[in-house]
Amino acid sequence: MCGAPKQGGALAGIDLNTQTVIQGQVWHDGAPVAGAYVRLLDGTDEFTAEVVTSPEGEFRFFAAPGTWKVRSLAPVGKGERVLDAEVGLNETTIVID
Amino acid sequence: MSRNDVLVTVDWVQDNLGTPGLVFVEVDEDTSAYDGGHLEGAVKLDWKQDLQDPLRRDYLDKTAFEALLSSRGIGNDDTVVLYGGNNNWFAAYAYWYFKIYGHRDVKLMDGGRKKWELDGRPLSKDAVARPATQYVASEPDLSIRAFRDEVVAAIGSKNLVDVRSPDEFSGKILAPAHLPQEQSQRAGHVPTAINIPWSKAANEDGTFKSDEQLAALYGEQGFDDSRETIAYCRIGERSSHTWFVLSELLGKKNVKNYDGSWVEYGSLVGVPIEK
């Protein structure tokens, strides 16, 4: 329920007509970052959720339409991305410099 | 009760792994985290498989809790140090649960798994087996657990602290955003509840903020020290995190966790809801 569901993988079973999915990968130095902590912040920068990336560096959130910030925290550093999400699939990549 | 009685640092834990009388317990919903590497010698509790009644929506009864702890090799005199993922949400839930059943000495590892991992500290994949014990639990201490009727009665008279994110409080979303937004309950919050998200009590690495910062946080948000308090979230684990802050770190009196939380309240017929 409130734990961390498996990140990445197929979108089977997810209704993209109703869900606002924000997903993507975390990259550093030309490779995906596994085990990075990725948090979703709302329009006021308040924490909404956090997941840990899959072995392929993937993360996925179920949000609502609007502006969101995705921030990644890993031993190699931090990165973030702001995006405007709509109902359906919203994909983004976070690069840690 | 103060911070030093209930919270240990990752440094302290690393120095004390393997110390007799100390049992490290990882509590997660996603046990693949433990299986992929855990603190040396730590045992595992699965929030759903181990800590919930398999049939009714409730925690384990006393007999089942005794059997669980005995099987994990946890004795009444052991000091239990809990840690886990999700910024210690489920570890805090387990802390509250151990207190319900009267465990004498229980602590949280500040920052949980996240802090440990971000620091690059060692994890072990070795299987852990502890000799079984004969654990004896106390009768449940209901002075720290709130039920639904108490929550309805508390509207306008107690501190009702809704610790979910602002978007869940306002009803924009129904669950934390790492979960699909398909829930049967109505959206919104309990009237007169104040929204103090659990996350405001934690630093980005999962550790708790300082006592001074925490005291200021609740003061600024309208927490009334003269009133009794009920904390809730969606299913009671994030509110355990806030219960821990209020009751164990700040030493506030008469704080209860409503583990029924929004999944129960938002499904009740006829109760008032604000949005």
Give the pLDDT score at B32: 84
Mean pLDDT by 10 residues, chain B (275 residues): 92 97 93 91 94 95 98 98 95 98 98 95 96 98 98 98 95 85 85 97 96 96 96 96 98 97 96 96
Give the pLDDT score at B178: 83
**What is the C-alpha to C-alpha distance for residues B47 and B75, in angstroms, rounded to an integer?**
20
Q: Of the residues B7, B91, B151, B233, which is catalytic? A: B233
Interface mutation target, options A26, A42, A48, chain B, most CBs of B under 10 Å? A48
> Cβ contacts of residue B23 below 8 Å, gap of 6+?
B43, B72, B73, B74, B78, B79, B80, B81, B130
> Cβ contacts of residue B120 below 8 Å, gap of 6+?
A75
Q: Nearest residue of B to residue A62 by CA position?
A: B177
A1 has a pLDDT exceeding 50: no
Give the pLDDT score at A5: 64
Going B21 to B27 to B31 to B37, the CA torsion angle's sign is negative
Say if residues B234 and B259 touch (Cβ distance below 8 Å). Answer: no
Q: What is the pTM of this model?
A: 0.93
The CA distance from A36 to the nearest CA of chain B, in Å, is 9
Give the pLDDT score at B267: 95
Say if residues B68 and B54 touch (Cβ distance below 8 Å). Answer: no
Q: For chain B, give the mean pLDDT.
A: 95
Nearest to A34 by CA among A74, A61, A94: A74
Residue with tokens 């978007």: B167
The CA distance from B126 to the nearest CA of chain A, in Å, is 20
Quickly state the pLDDT bin for A4 (edges 50, 70, 90): low
Give the pLDDT score at B176: 84
Here the ipTM equals 0.82
A90 has a pLDDT exceeding 60: yes
Active-site residue, B1 included: no
Say if residues B264 and B236 touch (Cβ distance below 8 Å). Answer: no
Say if residues A96 and A72 touch (Cβ distance below 8 Å). Answer: yes
Give the pLDDT score at B29: 80
Give the pLDDT score at B185: 85
A87 — phi, psi (to 5°)? -55, 135
B273 — phi, psi (to 5°)? -135, 145
Q: Give A25's strand partners.
A: A58, A93
Give the pLDDT score at B181: 76
pLDDT tens for each residue of A54-76: 999 999 999 999 999 999 999 99
Can you tell me the mean pLDDT for A26-49? Answer: 94
Give the pLDDT score at B202: 97
Give the pLDDT score at B175: 85
**What is the C-alpha to C-alpha distance for residues B211 and B249, in angstroms, rounded to an integer?**
7
* Domains with residue ranges and CATH for chain A: 20-96 (2.60.40.10)
* Domains with residue ranges and CATH for chain B: 3-139 (3.40.250.10), 143-265 (3.40.250.10)
